[in-house]
Each structure stands twice: as C-alpha cells, then as structure tokens.
Amino acid sequence: MRLFWHRGDARTRDNAGLAAAARDGELVPVFVYDADLLGTVGARQRAFFLRHVKRLEERYRELGSDLVVRAGDPEEVVVDLAAAYDAETVFYNEHYRPARRNRQRAVEDALAGAGVDTDSRTDLVLVDPGRLEARYPSHGQFHGDWEAVPKRGPYAEPDADALADVRDGKTVPEPDADIELPGAGYGAARERFDEFLDYGITSYNDTRDDLPKAVEAPTHAVSRMSPYLATGAIGIRELWAGASDRYDAVTGGERRNVDKYRYELSWREQMYHLLYYNPDLAVSNYKSFPNEIAWRDDDAAFEAWTRGETGYPLVDAGMRQLNEEGYIHNRPRQVVASFLTKHLLIDWRRGARYFTKQLIDHDYASNHGAWQWTASTGTDSVDVRIFDPVSQMSKYDDGARFVKEYVPELADVPAGKVVDWPTLSRAEREELAPDYAHPIVDRNEGYERAQRVFEEALGKR
C-alpha cells in the first residue's frame, strides 16, 4: 500500500506525485488539516483552498475511494496513517516555501524513523529549480536557460482501480469569506481556462493591459487563472499544454499573442527559482545595497493606501478591486506597489503582508518576488523603477472606465480630469468631486524623493 499526502495540490489531474503513487499498487489519498500552516495565509484564500479540498473529496468518492482527512501536526498524523494502512511509501509533491519545506523535512525524518520510504516529485513548476543556475542577472537570461529544458505534458488522473477502497467520514471545515469567491475545484478552473483558450489567448498580448476590457470581459482580456494556480486546483503543465496546443494551431499575430502568455508563465517559474535559492525572499532584500534604504514609517499614509483613498485614481481603483474581489489586475497591481514603495517610501514588506491577507491568488514566491521587483530591491536590472500613476492611467485607462468601476465618487467627472486629478488645483478637485480624496503626496515631490533615497542607498549620492 502507498499513501499520497495532498498538500497544496487539491486535484487528481496533472498531479505529479499522485500519478507516481498510482503507477504500481493501491494508494490511499490523505490530507492533513494543518491549522498552523493554514493560518499563515489570508482568510479569503484559506476558504477558497478548503473549498477545493471539498471538491477533491467528491472526486475521490466518484472514483470509488475517499480522501482520508485528519487534523494535527503532519509529523505525527502522516506517520500514524502510514502505520494504519501498512504503507511502505508515502508520496507527495515538493514545495518551496520555507515553512512547508521544514514541515516536509520533519515528516521525512519521522517516516524514516518508522521505516517508511518517501518519494517527492516536482509539481509546482515546469522546471525543477535545481536544474538551473543559482542566480541570473535578468529575466531574459533566466528565460533562455529555462526555455531550453524540455517540458513534459500533464499527468493523467489515476485509474479508479489504483485507488484503495476506503471510506472516511471526516472532512475539512468550509469557512465563509468576506467576498464572493470564484467557483471552487478543478472543474471550475478548467472551465475558466477553456473560456480563455477560446476567447482570450489569441489576443492576450494586445489586451493584457487593456483596463477597460478587463472590466467588460475580465476572463478574455487576461486568463484570471492565478487564483486556481496559487491554490493548486489546476496544474501548471495543463496550462502550458493548453497554451502550447493553441500556439501550434495559429500563425502570425495570434501566435505572437499566445507566445506572450507562455512567456508570462516563465515569470512565475523565475519567482519559484528565486525562492528556492533564497528562502528568505519574503523578509530580506534580494539586492545588496551599500547603504540602508530610508523607508518611512507613515501609518496614516499606509492606511489610506489600503483603503484606496490616496487621491490617485488608478491606485485607489486597484486597491478597491483588491479589497472587493481578492484579486487585482496586473497593471494596477504594479502601480499600487510602486506607489507604496516609491511615492510613499513605505517598506515593501508591509505591502506584501497586506496582499497576503487580501489576495485569493496569493502565491508566496510570486507575491514576494514581484513586490521586490517593483520596489527595486529584487531582480530588476533597472536601478530605480518608478511607475508614475498619472501617466500609467493616461496610457492604460484614458477613458477612466476601470477607475470609475471601482471609484464611484468620480463617476460624473470627465475622464480627462480623472486622469489629471493629482495635478489639478484643490479648488477644482473640490468642485468636481467633493467626496473623493485629495492626493496624500505631491506627484513630483514623491517621485523626486524616491529617486534621491534610492540613489543614496545605492551609494550614488
């Protein structure tokens, strides 16, 4: 008998460790409700993930088996389950977050002490980070090496006869969330991806930053697959295969659009590569600075940022989308992070923690890697990158369609005035929208201060 220990991979399809466990002999699928580890993610994402686990239980029952659920410390629970089912090997998938890696090592040691073998597989990523160099100066160089590694296709779902005939009456809690969550489980994830393949991927490069289209057809402008990838409802090989099949089926501009989507998946791969070689990615600057960065402690400004009341319309629309939906489109995601770390000069770690709390697509590697990139403490080859929130809105939402969707105080303000809001006089702002916030920092002063502080940290002043 074999056990498969489900961790952050609540699916039966395209699951590397599960497929390996099913190759010879029967297996028992198990899930350990680890309250300590689940407590480190936001309540929204925790609720979403546990709904995936409920769908996983249902799928195993359809296949004539069941998911064995226990609560407690995996170091004890997995050993007890291995003994109860007389398992000679426990299979599972590798994870790269330090807390999960520590859990895994503790379980491996405990199983070894009990005389039980372990078998772990690469599942979260297309390419095992250990196959690549430890450090790359740019994403382009990472992508070159990563692209050269062959990518395997999705793993099949185990046959029903590979699953032990078990019945388990225990289950996981299904907590409520303070927002409406997307449909849970593999089926919902696959349905969303199929819609994107049919209607969005062949125009992806042209529409990925089109904020009005993101309001009008959100799953066509971008895939919106990040919540499902981050919570393990669908496998990365399945997304790569679907995109690659479309790439092979089209030509010209459509092929360029599809290839851009595949390229964006490589950014997620690099974030995991960074975490693999830099386990302190969430707490320490990736880039070394000769001098300390003079971050500001400004609780009032931080709270205004979290509420979407900074007086910068695109920033506020992005933050309100985050608060209302647990998701934020990639373009305003970059803008709000830049505004916090540059115009407000508040430490990126505070922003990353807030995102962890609010996002349903929070991914430990991508969240902290992307925050560091935007904060100019990460892998970006540009010394000081600053996203100007006014010019960003002018370029990507000049009709204020996205902003007005989330900032109703500006609904009756002409689009051009919304774009220029931070540069208008106070009197004009009060006349146009008296209920909307005034800018909490001057646009030019914030920009120049950020340039000065980072140049000083870099030893260039």
Tens-digit pLDDT profile for residues 87-126: 999 999 999 999 999 999 999 999 999 999 999 999 999 9
**Residue 25 confidence class, pLDDT cut points 50, 70, 90:** confident
Helical segments of 376-441, H only: 389-396, 401-406, 415-419, 426-432
Given this model, what pLDDT does residue 214 score? 94
Residues 264, 314 share a domain:
no
Given this model, what pLDDT does residue 85 score? 97
Inside any domain, residue 341: yes
The share of the chain scoring above pLDDT 90, in percent, equals: 97
Residue with the two structure tokens 């040691």:
109
209 a known binding residue?
Answer: no
Cβ(29)–Cβ(65) below 8 Å: yes
Asked whether residue 439 carries a pLDDT value surpassing 90, the answer given is yes
Q: Which residues, including other chains, have CB under 8 Å from residue 248's CB and lie 6 or more apart?
A: none
Q: What is the mean pLDDT of residues 6-33?
A: 96
CB atoms within 10 A of CB 434: 8
Inside any domain, residue 282: no
Inside any domain, residue 49: yes
Residue 215 sits in a domain whose CATH number is 1.25.40.80
Residue 367: domain span: 299-457
Residues 205, 96 share a domain:
no
Bridge partners of 92, per DSSP, are 120
Crossing angle, helix 313-325 and helix 330-338, to 10 degrees? 120
Q: Which residues, including other chains, have CB under 8 Å from residue 352's CB and lie 6 or more apart?
A: 282, 367, 368, 371
Residues 306, 272 share a domain:
no
Residue type, 50: L
343 a known binding residue?
Answer: no
Residues 310, 271 share a domain:
no
d(CA 394, CA 76): 56
d(CA 291, CA 455): 10
Task: Beginning with the edge strand found earlier in the chain, give each strand of the sheet holding 27-33 in spatial order.
Answer: 68-71, 27-33, 2-6, 89-93, 117-121
**Residue 382 confidence class, pLDDT cut points 50, 70, 90:** confident
DSSP class per residue in 5-61: EESS---SSS-HHHHHHTSSS-EEEEEEE-HHHHTTS-HHHHHHHHHHHHHHHHHHH
Q: Which SS3 state, helix, strand or coil, does residue 327 take?
A: coil
**Residue 381 confidence class, pLDDT cut points 50, 70, 90:** confident
Name the nearest CA neighbour of 8 among 165, 234, 171: 234
Inside any domain, residue 241: yes
Residues 190, 104 share a domain:
no
User: Where is pLDDT greater, at 218 or 433?
Assistant: 433
Residues 423, 329 share a domain:
yes
Given this model, what pLDDT does residue 209 score? 97
Inside any domain, residue 312: yes
Residues 335, 192 share a domain:
no
Residues 363, 414 share a domain:
yes
Given this model, what pLDDT does residue 405 score? 98
Cα distance between the two ends of the chain: 66
Out of 243, 277, 311, pick the residue that ends a domain: 277
Asked whether residue 7 carries a pLDDT value surpassing 90, the answer given is yes
d(CA 356, CA 377): 19
Summary mean pLDDT of the chain: 97
Asked whether residue 461 carries a pLDDT value surpassing 80, the answer given is no
CB-facing half-sphere around the CA of 361: CA atoms within 13 A: 21
Catalytic residues: 264, 267, 295, 330, 348, 371
Residues 333, 245 share a domain:
no
Residues 328, 231 share a domain:
no
Which tens digits make up the pLDDT trace of 199-256?
999 999 999 999 999 999 998 999 999 999 999 999 999 999 999 999 999 999 999 9
Residue type, 435: D
Asked whether residue 366 carries a pLDDT value surpassing 90, the answer given is yes
d(CA 198, CA 437): 41
Residue type, 135: R
Given this model, what pLDDT does residue 137 score? 87
Residue 306 sits in a domain whose CATH number is 1.10.579.10
d(CA 174, CA 362): 19
Residues 206, 355 share a domain:
no
Residues 249, 117 share a domain:
no
Given this model, what pLDDT does residue 94 score? 97
Out of 82, 105, 123, pick the residue that ends a domain: 123
Looking at residue 70, the DSSP 8-state letter turns out to be: E
420 a known binding residue?
Answer: no
Given this model, what pLDDT does residue 55 score? 98
Q: What is the mean pLDDT of residues 374-402?
A: 95
363 a known binding residue?
Answer: yes
User: What's the domain count of the chain?
Assistant: 3
286 a known binding residue?
Answer: no
Cβ(113)–Cβ(83) below 8 Å: no
